[in-house]
Amino acid sequence: MAERRIRTYSEVSHDTGSGILEQVEAQGARLARRLAAIDRLVVVASGKGGVGKSLVAANLAAALARRGLQVGAADADLNGPSLGRMLGVAGAKLEVREDGVVPVRGAGGVRVMSMDLLLASDDAPLRWREPEGAGFAWQSVLETGAVREFLSDTDWGELDALIVDLPPGTDKLQRLLQLVPDPGVVLLVTTPTEVARFVVGKSIALVREARVRRFGLVANMAGHACEHCGRQTSLFDPEPAVRMAEEAGVPLWARIPFHPAIGAHTDAGRPIVAAEPDSEAARAFEELAAKVMA
């Protein structure tokens, strides 16, 4: 039986009459034009779910904005978007202009684009339009296309930094690196557990294979800061994130301590760097912002 061969977009090198080649080339040109106006692209990823990627992305964006920088935040978690709510733009309306969709202004003036701004209601699930019975084959293509449109069809303007918040899964990071092969910084978020260390280790291997030049670990919930004296105590000893950084030879860019009120501030759309700027958690995010822009 002869082996079946399926052609991919990369093999379409001539006009087929479908317009696919022209569309792909036009999208690539728009993406390049948008990125040319952005000084630094910062990808917040992990591979592991529930480690606080969106929390890190929202507070990093707010911390950069507090420095007087022009900052954007793109929520690439299409099925479970939360970055918009964390930055205080829940329910905001997007404006469409000739040059693209205008992002809404969130906490600190951060320009935000998120799928939850496109859905009819807060509890509306994301549904894709694909050929009937072929959703399994089309969904990854549609999701990648949507992320590309968030980057290329949003009128970000000139930015000092654009934060991209990725959903769980190393495949999501791999797709983003295919769209943007050389991002400015990749931050891999982890928590102090062995399970997180195991999964995030795969993301470390991925960014190394992709030859990403600047990447580091962010240890979320790395200890607890006493609300009375400020003394920090580790939740695990030895701390898995520190051991991972040492064993893998990856710089540990930040240790974000657990903060009792950070959940309430996040639900209210107020990043901790704005709500409690003198807290240990806020200072950790400010230090991370300084390293990202160094």
Please report the DSSP string for 53-116 in residue order.
HHHHHHHHHHHHHHTT--EEEEE--SSS--HHHHTT-TT---EEETTEEEPEE-GGG-EEE-GG
What does the buried/exposed string (b/e) look like for 137-174 if buried means 16 or more CB atoms within 10 Å of the residue's CB? eeeeeebbebbbbbbbbbbbeebbbbbbbbbbbbebbe
Determine the pLDDT at residue 31.
87
The rounded distance, in Å, linking the Cα atoms of 120 and 26 is: 29
The model's pLDDT over 138-193, given as tens digits with 9 standing for 90+, comes to: 667 777 888 888 899 999 999 999 999 999 989 999 999 988 988 999 999 998 88
- Quick check: bond before 238 cis, omega within 30? yes
More confident residue, 71 or 236: 71
The model's pLDDT over 114-128, given as tens digits with 9 standing for 90+, comes to: 988 887 666 666 666
The rounded distance, in Å, linking the Cα atoms of 52 and 218 is: 10
What residues form DSSP beta bridges with 159? 38
Determine the pLDDT at residue 1.
44
Look at residue 34 and tell me whether its pLDDT is greater than 80.
Answer: yes
The model's pLDDT over 132-147, given as tens digits with 9 standing for 90+, comes to: 666 666 667 777 888 8
Look at residue 12 and tell me whether its pLDDT is greater than 70.
Answer: no
Distance (Å) of CA 14 to CA 19, 21, 242 = 10, 7, 51
pTM, rounded to two decimals: 0.87
CB of 244 closer than 8 Å to CB of 218: no
Look at residue 224 and tell me whether its pLDDT is greater than 80.
Answer: no
Superfamily for domain range 41-292 = P-loop containing nucleotide triphosphate hydrolases (3.40.50.300)
The rounded distance, in Å, linking the Cα atoms of 46 and 168 is: 6
Domain boundaries along the sequence of the chain: 41-292
